[in-house]
Amino acid sequence: MDLHMRRLGLGDAEQFRQMETGIENDYVVRIFDKLVQEDLLYGAFYENELIGIAGITVYEIQYAILGRLRTRVHDRGKGVARKLFRFLVSQLRQNPHIKWIGYATEESNIPANSIASHLSMDCIAKIYSSKLNRTGSGHFASLDSDTDDWQEIKGCKEKKLLFKQAMEESGMNFFPYAVYYPLPAYPEDISDDYLSGCRMWARNGRFFCLMPEEKGESYFHLKYFWNDIFEQTGLWKKAIRLAEREDRVIWFDMSESMFRSLPEKQWFETTAWHLIGEPLKEEKIDEVDCV
């Protein structure tokens, strides 16, 4: 199948809306105009018909995340997704600022996982993305704890240093940058804009962050780096209180060791994800077994 690849624009909106993807209430349809103006969205065309799309989101100038992969139902199994991702990777490799290219996909998404081998990419981390549910909230809210001993950290310089120390100390093999968008490492030059948006509290050599995000639902993205997370009763009570005040759901990306230490799986709605990518430039990232 001979495909033509190009960046999409506002003039492609109607053709995308007509492309049958099998995805109900697809958020990409709702925000298509915004994506093509503020982000990078590419299309695969066959005989002038749009049959697949994929996007690029660049974080902190250096980390390129592939995503928003959609293939027309009629054309699945024909290598469209693979060819799209290969095209995007070839474009990104020409950018001297990009040091890592990759994507995150659900463990159960066999086609998306299988693309990795065609791109010479490895599994970097297995991540358990979890939404705290009513059962979990009720459990933590019922425990006795004083939440006032967590002191808020407001300076970007201190936040940046604490993040760096936590990643080194904990040995976590991904950085929970954003909901749906983990990174393979802590960005050394993380922006002050990002740090300013992340509310942070510290106590006794530990800290946690809450980042407000809008991803279909209103979330507080909780960031914590140590396996004693479920022993931190005051942390959970404070986070739950703030989430309820702003009508947000708590999203927490767990490492494998955190997930194993979770006392009750029923506290969260959890989905296992694979972070897949190819180290570039001087970056050295270890491959892990994600099966």
- Spatial separation of the C-alpha atoms in residues 143 and 158, rounded to whole Å: 31
Per-residue pLDDT tens digits for 257-267: 999 999 999 99
pLDDT tier at 147, thresholds 50, 70, 90: low
- Spatial separation of the C-alpha atoms in residues 162 and 249, rounded to whole Å: 25
pLDDT tier at 216, thresholds 50, 70, 90: confident
In terms of pTM, does the model score above 0.85? yes
Biggest alpha carbon distance in the chain? 65
> What's the pLDDT at 207?
97
Beta carbons within 8 Å of 150's beta carbon, 6+ residues apart: 201, 202, 203, 208, 234, 235, 238
Region 14-40: mean pLDDT is 93
Per-residue pLDDT tens digits for 43-60: 999 999 999 999 999 999
* 3-class state of residue 115 by DSSP: helix
* 199 has a pLDDT exceeding 80: yes
Region 278-284: mean pLDDT is 61
pLDDT tier at 154, thresholds 50, 70, 90: very high
Residue 214: count other Cβ atoms within 10 Å of its Cβ.
Answer: 9
> What's the pLDDT at 280?
56
pLDDT tier at 281, thresholds 50, 70, 90: low
Joined tokens for residue 2: 């001979």
* 285 has a pLDDT exceeding 60: no
- Spatial separation of the C-alpha atoms in residues 249 and 246, rounded to whole Å: 9
- Spatial separation of the C-alpha atoms in residues 283 and 69, rounded to whole Å: 26
* 283 has a pLDDT exceeding 90: no
- Spatial separation of the C-alpha atoms in residues 63 and 70, rounded to whole Å: 22
* 172 has a pLDDT exceeding 90: yes
pLDDT tier at 287, thresholds 50, 70, 90: low
Tell me the residue type at 38: E
- The single-letter DSSP state of residue 49 is E
> What's the pLDDT at 149?
85
- Spatial separation of the C-alpha atoms in residues 264 and 137, rounded to whole Å: 12
Beta pairing, strands 181-183 & 175-178 = antiparallel
C-alpha pair distances (Å), 154 with each of 18, 39, 99, 159, 201: 47, 30, 29, 7, 9
> What's the pLDDT at 63?
95
Mean pLDDT check: name the lowest of 137-146, 195-204, 270-279: 137-146
Joined tokens for residue 270: 């959890």
* Three-class HEC string of 203-258: ECCEEEEEEEEEECEEEEEEECCCHHHHHCHHHHHHHHHHHHHCCCEEEEEECHHH
Averaged confidence pLDDT in the chain: 92
- Spatial separation of the C-alpha atoms in residues 40 and 111, rounded to whole Å: 23
Compute and round to an integer the Cα radius of gyration of the chain.
20
Q: Percent of the chain scored above 90 by pLDDT?
A: 86
* 210 has a pLDDT exceeding 60: yes
* 25 has a pLDDT exceeding 90: no
* 3-class state of residue 18 by DSSP: helix
* 3-class state of residue 282 by DSSP: coil
